[in-house]
Structure formats: structure tokens, C-alpha cells
Structure 1
Amino acid sequence: MIETSRLNRGKQKKSKKKKRKVISLIFLLLLISAALYFYFQYKSALNVSMKATGVSQKQVEFNGVQTKGKMNVLLLGIDSRGEEKSRTDTIMIGQYDHDAKTAKLVSIMRDSYVDIPDHGKMKINSAYSIGGAELLRKTIKENFDVDVQYYALVDFNGFSQIIDTAFPEGLEVNVEKRMSKDIGMILEPGLQRLDGKQTLAYVRFRKDAQSDFGRIQRQQEILGKVTKELLTINGVVKAPQLLGTIQPFINTNIDSGEVLSLATSYLSNRDEGIKTLRIPIDGAYEPKRFQRAGAVLDLDLDENKAALQEFLGENQ
């Protein structure tokens, strides 16, 4: 009886080991399959998007300064059209606080009238036209005393393709008014699904009474919708396609390890959402017109600087 019991226990141990081995093999096969799926999805999307004209991948000068515990990124939406020198209509600072696990987004209006180092007072988007991302970084530091460590130049063509990849049936948007002037199409008011080109037109429209103020509001709205989708299971599945799609349309000095660290940290606290701010803030600017600069937003620099620093936690 004792011998039989030992034999049974021995058989049970061997059976458990065999099961664990089989489970391990299945898990390994699943990992390999997932890796192959992600790789081929990524390569397929990359091959398609590489056929389009993207942003130059040439490394640009950018002497960003690290902010302790925070990751500040200068996000620039550019319209390169294959040109060496391009313009930027969208200027944002994205921040992720690794300790607090909070994400923030600041939109700086392009007509903000500021001091550009060694060039005098101009619209802030002139800094990029004159001296690229580095001069714009210096301009932000000089006027608002905010350090930006990284940059990301994103071509508008890539934005359209990201929308089409993430939302194959269109992105649901409530268009508040009829939009047509200078966007190459007509968007009628009402709740509807927009494809990539229509969504790009929606976020670029500014030929109404709200001008750039409405445009920035729509940009932040769409970025919020896209971010929310990417943090779902469906969004994770589409991740390799999105990475392959955007790569030719983005130039950044953020390395892949930093991106992975940020994504892992943010996903663990994704219910927090993204907080937003617009510069200039309400009541801290005055519309003016100057001969050389045209129509500008003359900032109350002290108020806007204080608001930006408080929002980004620069004084903490």
C-alpha cells in the first residue's frame, strides 16, 4: 500500500510537471505569435506610410533642460510639404509627472506677442520659422521661465493617417457650426463621424469669430478623444499599426525606452485624464495690431507666466 501510494504521488508530480511544461510552451507560443503579429502589423503600416511625404528625420538642434521628476515635451504641429523650412501653427507643451502620474497639455496661441531672443518682439510662431525648435525652446524659457527637455515635430499629414488607423469607421465629433473657409472642404453642423482629412480640417478651422481660440479648443478636444481610444484594449491592439503609421511623420529626440516608461506609468493611472490650459489665459491679453507683426495677442506676461508655472508645477 505504501509503495502504491508513493507511485501515485510520483505519477501526480510527473503529471503536474508535464502540465506546467505544456502551459509554458503554449504561453511561449502565444508570446511569439503576438510578437510576430505586432511586428508585421507595424511593418505593413510603415511600408504604406513611407510612400507619403513625411517630416524630415534629420536630427535638429535642441538643448533641452531636464525638469526633475517631470517630462516636458515641446509638441509642434508643422506643415512641411517637403520643404527644408516649415511653419508651425500648433505649439503645445505636453507634461507627464512621473511621481504624481499626471498628464497635462498646454496650448500656446501662435499670435502671442513675445520677446524672441536676439530678434525682438514678434509672434511666438516666428521663433520656429527663424531658428527652429531650439529658438522656440529659448523663447519659452525667456518669457515663461519653463524648461522643456524634449521636442516632437509632427507633420499634419501623419495626423490624418493616425485618425484613419485608430478610427476606421470615423471619429465621432459634434461639429458645432458650418465650417468651410480655407480648409478645402465643407463640414456641416451636427453629430457625425469624421475621417482623417475631415478631422484635420475640423482642428485647423479658424475663420470665424472664435479664430484661434476655437481652433485650440477643438485641438484639445480631439487629442482627448484619441488618447482615450488608445488606452483601450482595442487601442493597444492597433498600437503597432499606429506606430508604423506615425513614424515617417514625426521627428523627436525622445528615445523608445522613455516612451515605454511613460506609457507603462500612464496606463497604470489612466483614469486621471489629461488636464489642459491655454496661453494666454482669459483676461490676461489684449488684441493689438503692429505694423511689422500684424494682428497679435499682447500678453500680460506676469499673469500668463504665473499661470503656466502654477499649472506645470514649476514652483514645487
Structure 2
Amino acid sequence: MDSKDDTQHDPVAEQPAHLSLFDDRSAAESDGSGPAEPAGAGRRRRTRRVLLWALVALLVVLGSGVGALYWTANHYASSVQRIPNAFPTLPESAQPQAVPHSGMTFLLVGLDARSDVPTTGSEAKGPAWKEGAARSDTMMLMHIAADRRSVSVVSIARDTWVDIPGHGQAKINAAYSWGGPALMVQTVQNLTDIRIDHVAVIDWDGFRSLTDAVGGVDITIPKTIEAVGGARHWDAGTQHMDGDTALQYVRERHGLPNGDLDRTKRQQNFLRALMKQTMNSGTLSSPTRLGGLLQSVGDVVSVDDKLSNSDLYDLAWSMRSLRVGDVSFMNAPFGGFATIDGQSAVKLDRQAAAPLWEAMRNDRMSEYLAAHRTSGDVLGDSVR
């Protein structure tokens, strides 16, 4: 979908579209929406963009690589910034009921801009949210099974049209702009009837070093993709991508038949390749490479302040036997594109989504995926 269509008549369109992680930069800069950035701001700050996949890598790497060295794990876990007030302050009766022994569900939020900008002359970081400062660019529900033998990641399209508490109907990515992590959690809980256990906001800036720390990743392009507009040409075949090249791969949507939906699958395909490379490249057995990777992850991830270092370590240790094939990826069932109030929007197929949310709520994702393995929503071996 064109970035101009995304912001036309959008109540939060004044946000700086050129900072969007996955939007095409040339198209966003021609949009003209939003106030101009203060002079010199680019020099004073490091632009913070986002990578939803780093939390999965953190859990796998911590569990696989440093299980015997608790103090090392604690050191790197301490580098993960904590987010205060990440959950809605609602009575239990107004939230989905938690299902005992049903695993753990994270809401992974990637932003088009972060407000934790270092102040002049200081590296101190501020909150991960400031009203109106950013919209969530990507959202994923990551369900970790109670037996810790499988992980399911479900992407929710950023333009999904939903009810946002206190604001009426809008694209789901507006929830973060209007009310931060707490309103985003409430919106997703209302949509899915799944109780969110933890929140992670993922910072983009560490992406290149995170990819390069494992020696790059191998991504297979099944069919040659011709250059379209500002998008690059991709030759068919397996390509070894460093951080810069992988960034181009996950950002592009031009030339992809289903636009943002195909781009989401590219993001998931990249995460799968990153996990595979992390486990197979010798990174986990090399103190130098492992230290560099963990430091990069710590620079990338922020989590809610209810997730302590020991909680993070214990969770990672419990997942130490997890392998790439145990992690499944899919998009929330797609119900079609629409133009609503002048905005390009994505419709969720709520009837098809109902059994998915029920399976995640009750820790039956393995059964759900077994029954829907051939669905176009589930990430397959071949990704455009």
C-alpha cells in the first residue's frame, strides 16, 4: 500500500513517516506530512528503529550459549532496558482471564521511532513511549508453550482496522501513539481475548551489528525480482546477506504481490535464518562472538519492568533445547484490503482468526498448526 494512502485523513498522520522502519524512504519523504524535524536533530541523536525478532534471538542465545555461566547471562540481561507502566490499569474483570498452565505470551512491538533519545552530552535514555511520538510499525504475538518445546509467532498487520479503547475505530498501529504500551496491550487483548504476559519493544539500531555478529545470514530468493521504483533487483538463489543487505530485504514491499503481508513474511524468514545461523555458525561456542551478539541484543531489546533478570534467564534456560524447526511463524488470517474513512486498511478475517486465538489462549498451537500447515497464512519454506 502506498505510504500516502496510509496517512490521508489519518488522525495520527502528523507523525514523522520518514522514520518508519519498513516504509520505503523515498516514498515517505515525498509525503510531506508531519512537522519538519528540528535543525541538527539528526546529528544530536541516533535514529532508533526497530527489530521485532531480537527477543526470540535473545531467549534462544541466552538459553543455548550461557546456561552454565549465570553471571554472564545476568550481565547481558541487565543491559536490556525495562519499560515502566507497560500494562493497562484495569480491573481483572475487564481483562481476559489468564488460563493456568497455558504457556506464556509476549506482545512484541516494533516502532517507527523511539523516544529514548540520548540527551545532549549524555547517553541516558528516556521512556520507550511519548504521546504522539511514534506509531507501532509491526506487532507480533509470540506464544511460548508451557513445555517450552515450541514457540509460535503471529504477526498482526500494522494497518489492521480495530476498535481502540477510548478512541473508536482506527488502524491498530495508532494505539501505541495514543496510549503507549498499555493501550496497545489493551487493544490486542480486546481483539484476541488473550492475556498478554509480557511486552517487548525492539530497537532497530542494533540490527546491523546483530546480523553481522553471527557472520551474516543466508536467504533464498525463490524467483528473480526486478527493480521497481526505489526497490533493488534481487536475483533468484541463495544469497549471503550482511546487516545492510538484510535491511534492504526486510524493508521492501514494492514488487511483492501482497505488499506489506509479503514483507511481514520476509521479516519472519529473516528471523528464521538468523536463528539458524546463530546456532550453526559457532557463535554460541565462541566467547568473543557470543559476547558481541549478546551485547547487540541488549542494545536492541526493551522489556516490561515485570520481567526481571532472573525471570529472563530462567525463561531462556528453560528453552535451551529449542531449535529452529520448533519455531513457527504466521500472519493473522487476512480478510482483504479496504479503504475506510479515506485510509488504506487491512481487514482481519475474524471467523478464521477465532480458532487461532483460542489455540494460543489454551496452549494448543501445535494442534492448530498441524491442521493449518498448508494455509497461506503460515510461513512456508519458500518466501518471495
Q: TM-score, normalised by structure 2?
A: 0.60
Which runs of 5 or more structure 1 residues have no equivalent in the other structure? 1-33, 47-54
Contact kept, 8 Å, 1:155 with 1:249, in 2: the verdict is yes
Return the match for 1:276 from 304, 320, 329: 329
Shift of 1:94: 1.0
Q: In the alignment, which of 263, 267, 278 is matched to residue 316 of structure 2?
A: 263
Contact 2:193 2:357 in 1 (8 A): no
Is 2:121 aligned against 1:73? no
The equivalences for 1:79-118 within 5 A come to 79-80=112-113, 84=130, 85-99=133-147, 101-118=149-166
The one of 292, 303, 310 aligned to 2:352: 303
Per mean C-alpha deviation after superposition, the further-off stretch among 71-80 and 132-141 is 71-80
Pick the structure with greater CA Rg: 1
Contact 2:148 2:322 survives alignment (8 Å): no
Name the CA distance, whole Å, in 2 between partners of 1:80 and 1:271: 30
Higher strand share: 1
Select the residue among 284, 288, 307 that pairs with 2:338. 288
CA RMSD of aligned residues (A): 3.2
Q: CA deviation at 1:122?
A: 0.9
More off after superposition, 243-252 vs 131-140: 243-252
Structure showing the higher helix proportion among its residues: 1
State the alpha-carbon separation in 2 of the partners of residues 80 and 219 from structure 1: 18
How many angstroms apart in 2 are the aligned matches of 1:77 and 1:187? 26
Change in Cα spacing, 1:165 to 1:233, as seen in structure 2 (3 Å) is: closer
- The match for 2:260 among 191, 212, 231 is 212
Give the alignment's TM-score, normalised by structure 1: 0.72
Q: For residues 67 and 187 of structure 1, what CA distance do their matches in structure 2 show?
A: 48
Taking a change above 3 Å as real, the CA distance of residues 174 and 307 of structure 1, as seen in their structure-2 partners, is: same
C-alpha change, 1:79 and 1:296, in structure 2 (3 Å) is: closer
Q: 1:242 corresponds to which residue? A: 293
Q: In the TM superposition, what is the alpha-carbon distance from 1:299 to its structure 2 partner? A: 2.5
* Corresponding position of 2:121: none
Q: Match for 1:164: what amino acid?
A: D
Deviation at 1:127, TM superposition (A): 0.8
Relative distance call for 1:67 and 1:242 in structure 2 (3 A) is farther
**Once the two structures are superposed, what CA deviation does each residue of 1:38-85 show, in whole Å capped at 9, x if it has no partner?**
69x97xxx8xxxxxxxx9x46332227865331211111223265642
Shift of residue 287, structure 1, vs aligned partner:
1.5
The number of residue pairs the alignment matches comes to: 263
Letter paired with 2:139: I
What is the deviation of 1:180?
6.1
Percent of aligned pairs sharing the same letter: 26
Q: How far off is 1:199 after superposition? A: 0.7
Query: SS at 2:254's partner residue?
Result: coil
CA-to-partner distance for each residue in 1:198-228, whole Å, 9 max, x for gaps?
Answer: 2122112112332011111111111111122
Partner Cα separation in structure 2 for residue 171 and residue 268 of structure 1? 22
CA distance in 2 between partners of 1:266 and 1:139 (Å): 29
> What SS does the aligned partner of 2:100 have?
coil
How big is the shift at 1:99? 2.1
CA, structure 1 residues 130+202, in 2 after alignment: closer, same or farther (shift >3 Å)? same
